[in-house]
C-alpha cells in the first residue's frame, strides 16, 4: 500500500467518524433537550454509542462543546479517564466547558484559533 492510498483511507475513516458522531450527537440532543435528569441524558443510547467510539471522537466532542456547552462531561471523563474541572466549578456548565476546552488545547486536540 502506498502513502497516497493510506492517506485516502485515513481521510475516509476520519470523515466516517465525523458523520457518525454528527448523526449520534443530533439524535442525542434532539431526544434529550427537555430532560433535566443527568442520568437520563448520559445513558441515552446515542450518547453511550458516542462514548463507544473511543478516544478518536474526543476532538469532535470538544469542538461541539466549544460551539455550545452541551453536557458532554460524563462522556469526556469516561473516554479520557481525566477531569480537568476544578471542584469549585463542578455543576457550573460554562466553567466546566471552558476547563475541558482548555484541556483540549493543552493536549493538542483543539487549536487556539478555532471558534
Mean pLDDT, each 10-residue run in order, the chain (115 residues): 54 83 97 94 97 97 94 97 97 96 96 66
Using CA atoms in the order 73, 78, 80, 81, what is the torsion angle rounded to 10 degrees? 110
User: What pTM value is reported for the model?
Assistant: 0.85
Task: Return the pLDDT at 4.
Answer: 56
Amino acid at each position: 500500500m502506498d502513502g497516497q492510498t493510506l492517506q485516502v483511507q485515513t481521510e475516509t475513516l476520519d470523515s466516517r467518524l465525523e458523520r457518525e458522531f454528527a448523526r449520534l450527537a443530533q439524535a442525542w440532543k434532539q431526544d434529550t433537550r427537555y430532560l433535566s435528569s443527568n442520568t437520563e441524558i448520559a445513558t441515552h443510547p446515542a450518547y453511550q454509542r458516542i462514548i463507544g467510539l473511543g478516544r478518536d471522537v474526543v476532538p469532535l466532542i470538544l469542538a461541539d462543546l466549544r460551539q455550545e456547552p452541551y453536557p458532554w462531561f460524563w462522556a469526556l471523563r469516561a473516554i479520557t479517564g481525566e477531569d480537568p474541572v476544578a471542584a469549585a466549578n463542578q455543576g457550573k456548565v460554562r466553567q466546566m466547558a471552558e476547563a475541558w476546552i482548555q484541556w483540549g488545547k493543552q493536549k493538542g486536540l483543539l487549536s487556539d484559533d478555532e471558534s
